[in-house]
Amino acid sequence: MLFDKLRQIEERSEELERTLADPKIYGQPAEFARLRKEHADSVEIVERFREYREVLRRLGEAQHLLTDGGDRELAELAQLEIDELSVRQTALESDLKRLLLPRDPNDDKNVFVEIRAGAGGDEAGLFAADLIRMYTKYAERQRWKFEIMDASTTGVGGYKEVILFIQGKGAWSRLKFERGVHRVQRVPATESAGRIHTSTVTVAVLPEAEDVDVKVDEKDIRVDVYRSSGPGGQGVNTTDSAVRLTHIPTGLVVTCQDERSQLKNRAKALRVLKARLLERAQEEQQAAIAADRRSQVGTGERSERIRTYNFAQNRVTDHRIGLTLHRLPEVLEGDIDELIEALAAAEEAERLERVAQ
């Protein structure tokens, strides 16, 4: 069954190659882009399948030599080749099963990262600032672009809420594991007795909605403009440039006052609104299978603690997979690949296990 499915993918890939080589397709830009993406998604699978087929062919030849009853030395060489090829066969079968897993349709999308101070007062706001730095540093390591869409400060160097927009290939596939409650345990700068406090920050990660994902009718949006507040200079604080969008059917409200231009703030707010509407639509679609997913690795509820940052012990612990790293300063500087890759591997293992059942 696996072989038949792989053969179908190979045949489709060859068909796509012929179509893309036809000059007529260039007159249909949208169709050309769609077919090119479909072909690109199949290339690695086809390459692995062809290698797998070659390994099976060589295995068959070696096994024939082994059972032929001929030269003893030749039989020993055939057995060595069988041993090597069998290992490669197992590895390729594992790769092919992984490649055939359905892809998350959001994997290549840009994301909005919403960071909000939770329990802990000013200390939670200060830790929110630490997480903002961690994610922007990580974005720099990945060579992604990022910008602050909206921010609300606490007045002591922290943040009540920040919305980051992170743009880059694979942003969702990497950052989706950051969703949840992040807990910090440390002695606040304002604590004279040296007692360790526990505070929390919530992180929401939303894929950027495309027009094909969410349709927003202008008549369903109420637009309010008002004077911006906070830092930004005289121009920002004396003009009605801040924008608040209310999506009437759902009651969702988005504000943006980061830019001097009302038009720019409206455009930014609309992008955030579309992302939140997409998230709501996806949550409704997945409601039927939510109970089954709650117990799966990497799908912790937002109301649950997913990770603890303990300053006294210099450790970061991800509770979903039981991974502890004793290099907290490096993690807060954006070195979080080890955490993300471990979470991705755990999620993949769970998906493979479900497919095998």
| pTM (two decimals) | 0.67
Q: What's the pLDDT score for residue 329?
A: 96
Task: Label residue 19 exposed, middle or buried (CB < 10 Å: 0-12, 13-18, 19+).
Answer: middle
Phi first, then psi: give them for residue 121, nearest 5 degrees. 60, -135
Q: What's the pLDDT score for residue 303?
A: 47
Whether 41 shows a pLDDT value over 60: the answer reads yes
- What number of other Cβ atoms are within 10 A of residue 35's Cβ? 17
Q: Taking the CA atoms of the chain, what radius of gyration do you get in angstroms?
A: 26
Q: Is residue 263 very low, low, confident or very high in pLDDT (cuts 50, 70, 90)?
A: confident
Whether 172 shows a pLDDT value over 90: the answer reads yes
Which range among 175-179, 252-256, 258-262 shows the weakest confidence by mean pLDDT? 258-262
User: Where is pLDDT greater, at 122 or 71?
Assistant: 122
| 2-20 and 72-99 helices, crossing angle to 10° | 70
Q: What's the pLDDT score for residue 87?
A: 93
Q: Is residue 107 very low, low, confident or very high in pLDDT (cuts 50, 70, 90)?
A: confident
Whether 136 shows a pLDDT value over 60: the answer reads yes
Residue 197's contacts (CB-CB under 8 Å, 6 or more residues apart) are 120, 123, 185, 186, 187, 188, 191
DSSP string covering 275-298? HHHHHHHHHHHTGGGHHHHTTSTT
- What number of other Cβ atoms are within 10 A of residue 340's Cβ? 17
Whether 120 shows a pLDDT value over 60: the answer reads yes
Q: Is 80 helix (H, G, I), strand (E, B) or coil?
A: helix
Q: What's the pLDDT score for residue 235?
A: 45
Residue carrying the six token digits 């707010």: 269
Mean pLDDT of the chain: 84
CB 210 within 8 A of CB 277: no
Phi first, then psi: give them for residue 257, nearest 5 degrees. -140, 20
Which residues is 253 bridged to in the sheet?
246
**Token couple for 252:** 């969702």
| 337-356 and 72-99 helices, crossing angle to 10° | 100
Whether 39 shows a pLDDT value over 50: the answer reads yes
CB 209 within 8 A of CB 278: yes
Q: What's the pLDDT score for residue 355?
A: 62
The amino acid that residue 185 corresponds to is: Q
Q: What's the pLDDT score for residue 285?
A: 60
Parallel, antiparallel or unpaired: strands 180-186 and 197-207 = antiparallel
Whether 18 shows a pLDDT value over 70: the answer reads yes
For the segment 269-319, what is each residue's pLDDT rounded down to a tens digit? 888 988 888 888 777 766 643 443 333 323 333 346 899 999 999 999 999
Q: What's the pLDDT score for residue 271?
A: 87
Q: What's the pLDDT score for residue 165?
A: 94
Q: Is residue 341 very low, low, confident or very high in pLDDT (cuts 50, 70, 90)?
A: very high
Helices (H), the chain: 2-20, 29-67, 72-99, 122-141, 171-175, 234-237, 262-285, 290-293, 328-332, 337-356
Whether 160 shows a pLDDT value over 50: the answer reads yes
Q: What's the pLDDT score for residue 168?
A: 93
> Rounded distance, CA 137 to CA 164, Å?
12
> Rounded distance, CA 248 to CA 282, Å?
19
Task: Label residue 143 exposed, middle or buried (CB < 10 Å: 0-12, 13-18, 19+).
Answer: exposed
Whether 326 shows a pLDDT value over 50: the answer reads yes
> Rounded distance, CA 263 to CA 164, Å?
19
Tell me the three-class secondary structure of 314-348, residue by residue: CEEEECCCCEEECCHHHHHCCCCHHHHHHHHHHHH
CB 168 within 8 A of CB 143: yes
Which range among 91-95, 112-116, 152-156, 234-238 shows the weakest confidence by mean pLDDT? 234-238
Residue 245's contacts (CB-CB under 8 Å, 6 or more residues apart) are 221, 222, 223, 253, 254, 255, 266, 269, 270, 273
Task: Give the rounded percent of residues in the chain with a pLDDT score beyond 70.
Answer: 86
Whether 127 shows a pLDDT value over 90: the answer reads yes
Angular region, 144: left φ>0, alpha ψ -120 to 50, beta rest: beta
Q: What's the pLDDT score for residue 232?
A: 47
